[in-house]
Amino acid sequence: MLILIICVLYIVWAIYRNQPTIIINKSPVDYFDEKQLIVFKERDPNFSRIVFLDFVHLLYVKYYSYYGKKDFDYLTPYLSDTVQHDKTLDLLIGQQVIIISEIVINSVRLFSITRTADEDRIGVEIESNYTVHPAFHTEASGKQHTRYARSERWFFQRKKSLQSLPPEKMQALSCPSCGAAAHFTDAGECKSCKTVIIKGQQQWYVKDRVVLNQSVLNSGDLVAYAEEQGTNLPTLSSPTLLQEIAAFEKQRTIVWSDYWNTFKQQIVQPYFLELNAAWTNHNLTKVRHLISDRLYDANSFWMELYSHYRFNNRLDDLKIQDIQLVKIELDKYYETITVRVFASCFDYTEDSNKKIIAGSNKKRRAYSEYWTFARRAGVEQNETGFDLNSCPQCGAHADKMGQSAICEYCGSKISTGQFSWVLFLITQDENYRG
């Protein structure tokens, strides 16, 4: 979530609304209290929301990828005994041996930060979907597979007063003692250094998890359309936005009004138009270096699903009506700017014969989305001269980035925000919680 461009979250919602839902735990809509994060970062100035959510995303994908396999032991230091031996998934899927694939996180967000006498705790809400296959095909099961949408809350915990690890150690699952790749026994012993890792003593681990709801998705409902839900909702600007602007001005030694105009014209507008054009053209190659790995993986899956059914979702004559500043967040490793973009287009889906099967190419569809851009702290970049079609590191044409977003000319990985602004997250207006 994780969390997609333009219609992806909408698609999930549209499919989701037409299917029976299993409610496991009812939960009210919660808005994260940003003051909790401010207080927490005073105790741990190394903490970065972006880095932590990347860690959550990575662990979540590994959890379901390894589920039911021997490799699941590799996650031992990151999961409590309760979570490690949780059979809830088996019960929900029908107590059969399963394989899980095509894991897509639609959104991931903080919803609580608390502290006890001995531990720091962070609650995260995750919206995802994935495909479940029977591990053993029988005459009865055939090659049946089912796609599920799921909403969960994961509760992370660690020893109180620990300092967060740098991005390089948070964005890969590795031994917190020796740094080797995460190969652990079921007792939590690193196969490289033989150290037994005690959960929470050096790194976050999942103390508990709660499934809020689950629904079966029908891929044939990709063409389901419904009215926009949040376009007319007020913009949820940060309550400390003025202070955030002042801090950014001080850190960057700039005049905000000048920088904001440049940022809108040179970053937000071209990114928005190019990414949506890439969606319509079913080709992310030209924009791979502009988006995070997580966003790329999610959008690639949905493009492949559309292609499988020979559908093409088009967003024609896209026009931006307004761009509003929502939030600026600074930490030791990253700067992020969140904006709300108001736009309209002709949004419709064609089949392989160019027949319109959903939406309209006659009636414009107005909508808004929250876009979060990120880059590494300290990056010196002249936004005025930024060229979307060039590698921000070496200046060569950005035509050979590949799926990994590594420039073939200079060997630099561009999608981390190390050299320029990267689109990190897209949130639908009805789902944005601040």
| Secondary structure of the chain in HEC code, one letter for each residue | CCCCCCCHHHHHHHHHHCCCEEECCCCCCCCCCHHHHHHHHHHCCCCCHHHHHHHHHHHHHHHHHHCCCHHHHHHHHHECHHHHCCCHHHHHHCCCCEEEEEEEEEEEEEEEEEECCCEEEEEEEEEEEEEEEECCCCCCCCCCCEEEEEEEEEEEEEECCCCCCCHHHHCCCECCCCCCECCECCCCEECCCCCECCCCCCCCEEEEEEEEEEEEECHHHHHCCCCCCCCCCCCCCCCCHHHHHHHHHHHHCCCHHHHHHHHHHHHHHHHHHHHHHHHHCCCCHHHHHHECHHHHHHHHHHHHHHHHCCCEEEEEEEEEEEEEEEEEEECCCEEEEEEEEEEEEEEEEECCCCCEEEECCCCCEEEEEEEEEEEECCCCCCHHHCCCCECCCCCCECCCCCCCCECCCCCCECCCCCCCCEEEEEEECCCCCC
Given this model, what pLDDT does residue 18 score? 39
Q: Shortest CA distance to 53 belongs to which of 368, 260, 333, 285?
A: 333
- Cα dist. 247→21, 328, 331, 401 in Å? 45, 9, 11, 34
Evaluated on CA atoms 288, 289, 295, 296, the torsion sign reads: positive
CB count within 10 Å of CB 402 equals 11
Q: How far apart are CA 345 and CA 146, in angstroms?
A: 33
pLDDT exceeds cutoff 80 at 387:
yes
Given this model, what pLDDT does residue 96 score? 62
Q: How far apart are CA 94 and CA 66, in angstroms?
A: 19
Of 3.10.450.240, 3.40.50.970, 1.20.1250.20, 2.40.110.10, which CATH number belongs to 221-428?
3.10.450.240
Q: How far apart are CA 151 and CA 79, in angstroms?
A: 19
The pLDDT of 136-152, averaged and rounded, is: 71
Name the one residue in this structure whose structure tokens are 């007319």. Answer: 232
Q: How far apart are CA 285 and CA 377, in angstroms?
A: 26
Q: How far apart are CA 395 and CA 371, in angstroms?
A: 26
Evaluated on CA atoms 24, 26, 30, 35, the torsion sign reads: negative
Q: Which pTM does this prediction carry? A: 0.85
pLDDT exceeds cutoff 90 at 136:
no
Given this model, what pLDDT does residue 135 score? 67
The pLDDT of 228-244, averaged and rounded, is: 91
**Tens digits of residue pLDDT in 331-367:** 999 999 999 999 999 999 999 999 998 899 999 999 9
**Tens digits of residue pLDDT in 290-336:** 999 889 988 888 888 888 888 999 999 999 999 999 999 999 999 99
Contact, 211 vs 24, CB < 8 A?
A: yes
Q: How far apart are CA 46 and CA 44, in angstroms?
A: 5
The pLDDT of 213-227, averaged and rounded, is: 72
The pLDDT of 192-201, averaged and rounded, is: 88
Altogether, the residues listed in the chain come to a count of 434
Topology of domain 19-217, CATH: Nuclear Transport Factor 2; Chain: A, (3.10.450)
Pairwise pLDDT comparison (251 vs 387), residue with the higher score: 251
Pairwise pLDDT comparison (73 vs 19), residue with the higher score: 73
Given this model, what pLDDT does residue 20 score? 43
Q: How far apart are CA 183 and CA 198, in angstroms?
A: 15
The pLDDT of 158-173, averaged and rounded, is: 90
Assign 125 a pLDDT band (cuts: 50, 70, 90): very high
The pLDDT of 359-386, averaged and rounded, is: 88
Q: How far apart are CA 254 and CA 247, in angstroms?
A: 11
Q: Shortest CA distance to 154 belongs to which of 53, 229, 33, 273?
A: 53
Give burial (CB, 10 Å; 0-12/13-18/19+) of 199: buried
pLDDT exceeds cutoff 60 at 137:
no
Q: Which residues of the chain are in CATH 3.10.450.240 domains?
A: 221-428
Q: How far apart are CA 151 and CA 107, in angstroms?
A: 10
